[in-house]
Amino acid sequence: MKRTLLIVLLGLTAGLLAHFCWFMSLQPCRANGLDCQLQWMKTELKLSDEQFARIKTIHEESSPRLLALAAQVARMREEYDAFEHERTTSGQIDFLEFAHFVEQRRAVNRECLTSTQRLVADAARVMTAQQRERYLGLLGPVLQSGVHSSIN
């Protein structure tokens, strides 16, 4: 009886360990570096080392602008929260100021979409036709939908 129980426990342990290792191997990278974040492209699109290096350079060159836009979006979210807080507490807002805010937000959203589309297009030019088709198939619907339009 003890031997059977030992074999069952060892089998369960080995199964759980194999299951855990399999899931860990399928997880995306945990590091915050650009290499790690772009690794999915190399794997999924079967990029050569030269293609991967060029795409990494393209991302590095566009990163400062995209980070600046992300900071603007975060600041605008805080402004929107302030408008919303004022509306809920006092019941009043300055409609001219809010209209100006909405116009700024639309401009930032357009710039975000344009910058992202430019980055995707630049990366796609490095790829072969088959890689480009797969890449644009994965990203195309997101870029066309304009998901940045939370306030219009």
36/89 same-domain check: yes
Q: Is residue 134 part of a domain?
A: yes
| Same domain? 52 vs 116 | yes
Q: Does a structural domain hold residue 150?
A: no
How far, in Å, are 31, 97, 121, 149 from residue 143 at the CA level?
25, 30, 11, 12
Mean pLDDT of the chain: 83
64/103 same-domain check: yes
Same domain assignment for residues 108 and 131: yes
Domain that holds residue 128: 32-145
50 shares a domain with 12: no
Answer whether residue 152 is part of any domain.
no
Predicted confidence at residue 29, as pLDDT, reads 66
* Burial class of residue 74 in the structure, from the number of CB atoms within 10 Å of its CB (0-12 exposed, 13-18 middle, 19+ buried): exposed
| pLDDT per residue as tens digits for the range 83-107 | 888 888 888 878 888 888 889 999 9
Q: Are residues 53 and 103 located together in one domain of the fold?
A: yes
Q: Tell whether 60 and 117 lie within a shared domain.
A: yes
- Residues 50-89 pLDDT 10s: 999 999 999 999 999 989 999 999 999 998 888 888 888 8
CA distance 78 to 91: 19
